[in-house]
C-alpha cells in the first residue's frame, strides 16, 4: 500500500516537473519578443541604411523625423 502511494506521488511529481520544464523550454525557444529584439527606431534605421535597403537621402530625412 505504501509503495503504491509513493509510486503515485513520484509519478505526479514527475508529470508536474516535466510540464514545468517543457513550458520553460518552449518559452526560452521562442526568444525575446520582436520589439525587444529590434531596438529603437533609430537603430533599425541605421541597420537598414547599412544593409543598403535605403539611400542616403531617405536615411537623412527619416533620421531628422525621428530626432524631432
Q: For the chain, what are the domain ranges? A: 1-31, 32-68
Instruction: Give 4-26 pLDDT, tens digit per residue.
Output: 899 999 999 999 999 999 999 98
Q: At what angle do helices 56-67 and 41-50 cross, to 10 degrees?
A: 170
d(CA 58, CA 56): 5
Instruction: Give 16-68 pLDDT, tens digit per residue.
Output: 999 999 999 988 887 766 655 667 899 999 999 999 999 999 999 999 999 98
More confident call, 1 vs 37: 1
d(CA 15, CA 23): 12
d(CA 13, CA 28): 22
Q: What is the pLDDT of residue 34?
A: 60
Amino acid at each position: 500500500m505504501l509503495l503504491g502511494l509513493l509510486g503515485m506521488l513520484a509519478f505526479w511529481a514527475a508529470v508536474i516537473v516535466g510540464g514545468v520544464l517543457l513550458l520553460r523550454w518552449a518559452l526560452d525557444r521562442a526568444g525575446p519578443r520582436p520589439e525587444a529584439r529590434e531596438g529603437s527606431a533609430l537603430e533599425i534605421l541605421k541597420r537598414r541604411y547599412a544593409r543598403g535597403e535605403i539611400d542616403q537621402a531617405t536615411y537623412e530625412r527619416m533620421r531628422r523625423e525621428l530626432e524631432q
